[in-house]
Amino acid sequence: MSTHLGFVTPDKAKRQQQVQRTNGQIEMAYKLGIPTIRVNTGRCRTSKNFERLMDNKGIEPRLEGHTDEEGFKWVCDSFEQCLKKAETCGVVLGLENHWGPGRTAESVQRIVNTLDSPWLRVTMDSGNFFERQHEQLKMLAPQAVFIQAKTYYSGGVYYDLPNMSDNKIAAD
């Protein structure tokens, strides 16, 4: 099961909404018998569009007036609120290397190691490392509970949603 959330905001009420949403998704996973769900940190959303984000290898300008350390704290504080629900339901959260504060193996490990819970591990996504791919995957492997191995057809660098339903791609 995959969640889509965003904890990278100075707005505490928005972060709390995301915590509640994530806790609801943990409960849904429990009811469906799913043992682990993919989570991410979210991102600043300061890139003009997805193509710009990809052109910049997942790096985007930080929120004006805020620091990376604040973003790290927002993410850790938010996940900490989800860990009790994860434990109660027996659902492991797999933090994916996916933009924002979770863009590199080092930053994913920092979050996972800071919270130091068996209920927060790693989902490795082979398509989300733009540099040092093998090195970073090797770093995360010991904490991985799930691996997403991506391949991109037709010579693409990343997929776009309109082409995901293209039967020609599926037939290749």
Confidence of residue 135 (pLDDT cuts 50, 70, 90): very high
More confident residue, 168 or 33: 33
Q: What phi and psi values does residue 160 have, to the nearest 5 degrees?
A: -125, 145
Domain boundaries along the sequence of the chain = 12-171
> Over 60: is that where the pLDDT of 156 sits?
no
Q: Dump pLDDT digits (tens) for 2-45.
A: 888 888 899 999 999 999 999 999 999 999 999 999 998 877 67
- Check residue 40 and give left, alpha or beta (phi > 0: left; psi -120 to 50: alpha): beta
- Determine the CATH number of domain 12-171: 3.20.20.150
Q: Dump pLDDT digits (tens) for 63-77.
A: 788 888 998 999 999
Mean pLDDT of the chain: 84
Q: What does pTM read for this prediction?
A: 0.82
